[in-house]
Structure 1
Amino acid sequence: MLRVLGLRLLLSVPLLLFVTALTFFLVSLTPGDPAVVILGQNRAPEEYQRLREQLGLLDPVPVQYARWLGTLTQGSLGVSIFNNEPVVAKLGARLGVTLSLVTLTALVASVVGVALGIASALRQGALARAVDVLSLLGIVLPNFWVALVLVAVFAVRLRWFPAIGYVQPSTSTGGWLRSLALPVVVLAGPAIGLIAQQTRNAMLDVLDRPFIRTLRAGGVPPASLIYRHALRNAGIPIITVVGLVFIALLGGTIIAENVFALPGLGGLAVEATSRHDLPVIQGIVLYFTVIVVVVNLVIDVIYAWLNPRVRVT
């Protein structure tokens, strides 16, 4: 297993190179010039050219990317074009916010989604249809609209939760949970329906297998039959969709962090893109890609734990 995980880590290096190179070239094609943003419209041509030369923007794009790779091999991601702040420090101050939001959302969506999926598989009928409706609503309703409705009801009118802002868990655990409550609900809604549907389908497939009927005829208690045997055998497709949800939530943080003014990587990505701050954009893409790689490795480990006969190749 360790050899396989080591091979997966080795294969992730070309993925990181491909994603960062693609991002670098795509950003270079987008409209915008950081020199113009820094100097403004009323700029002297000589000053403009001098600043572009200082920022290395006069070099061909492949040369700029090679220079960025050089800084990466030295353990650095460069500095922000606008304030010369090290990108590693800039992202490190915001990484915890994004990871807190994504992890808490994935946890809530997994627990609620799996519970609803199991219940709808056992009872079906109206509960199964409710899961389908919940999944459809999660897909149809825009996240930003749901966020605005939740803010208007629970933050402005009822004042149960703050409308904007983030509280560090080291400052107040309760305040941290309250500051993330509404963003988590916004992001977890679509994920709950998706996980519930996958759990129901996987459970129905396992519950219809001969070994489950044999165990039931042998007098195995219902709770043990469902949670120890059926759920474990249905775990691989459920874990797969949970992993996909976790990865998809990284993109969802962009909307949530901007609506709720959370100081995370998603909001920083929007700011850096609007200002054409390429080192910051590259750093965020690298961080997100590494998170995706780690999530996939964790899923492989869980696969092997759920079913030792599964050989990860």
Structure 2
Amino acid sequence: MATRRAILHLGTYKTGSSSIQNLCHANRGRLLKQGVLYPKSGLIKDAVIGHRHRNMIIPFMKGSTSSYVIEPFKAELEASPASSLIVSNESWSHPRHMPMLGGFRAELEDLGIDHVTGVAVFRRLVDYKVSHYREFTLRQGNKIAYERYILGTPGMFDYLFVARNFRAIFGADLQLLDYAASEDSVAAFFAEAGLSELLPGLKPVPPANVRPIRALGTEAMRQANLEGLPREKGQAFLARFRDEHPDLHAHDWTEREAPERPSYGSAYRRALTQTLGWAPEAVERLLEPRPIEGRPVSEARPVIKRALKDWIATQETAV
């Protein structure tokens, strides 16, 4: 009997995950002809954030404990002749979802998957913090200012904690990639999945998240979130704010107004080096601080609040 294997793409966030997901989704038919299933079950279909399998974990976020594998996915897997499958969900890198990841991996084996590999990508920590904060403010309604956001999510930005949990779940069947070591996160993922030979035959997809939000725009969106505006309204305000305040947008701003915390000592660095299996210099680059550059975005906060108040008033008048 032919063996079956699964490659679980674990994130982390902001490491090219959307590009991997969109490519796999757009080429489901081509992949299936090569014996690789990118399941339809559990997908959130959104080209901006990525066609990812986040709905795999929704039942558990809502308190269900019936099974770690949702029934539609189980049926799709049982009906498919594919010898390999790819499941991608960067939410698995969040500490509160790791128990679900462990259970999901175990149940895949019960469903006849002989070999399960986990693939995760780590990027320079300070860049990850900023990118994560901006993305979740723009698209997920975050209302918390940068420093409290970073310190208020235990484990999310602790690479040793995340890597140790991944290692505990997958053991030797874990590949931890250095985002800085590759110019192409898609190619790096397919290489670790042992599927590089399929890439030339896949239809390219446009890059996701092509217009990154910067510190000033992030603060404008956060203020809109604080007012309880839905995302579409907040983004409409953001566009108007850009048009009406080109003077502010001419400056460089930063949400990083104090040195990063916590700082990591030599014992932490040694433990992370051992857990990742990387060269010490690669781990040093991962944890390397970045100078604080730009004006503190808090200086622009009063102007943003006034502009938002005026914009909301015009919207109410228009209605």
TM more than 0.5: no
**TM-score, normalization: structure 2?**
0.28
**TM-score, normalization: structure 1?**
0.28
Q: Whose RCO is larger (CA < 8 A, sep 6+)?
A: 1
Larger Rg: 1
When you count helix as a share of all residues, which structure comes out higher?
A: 1
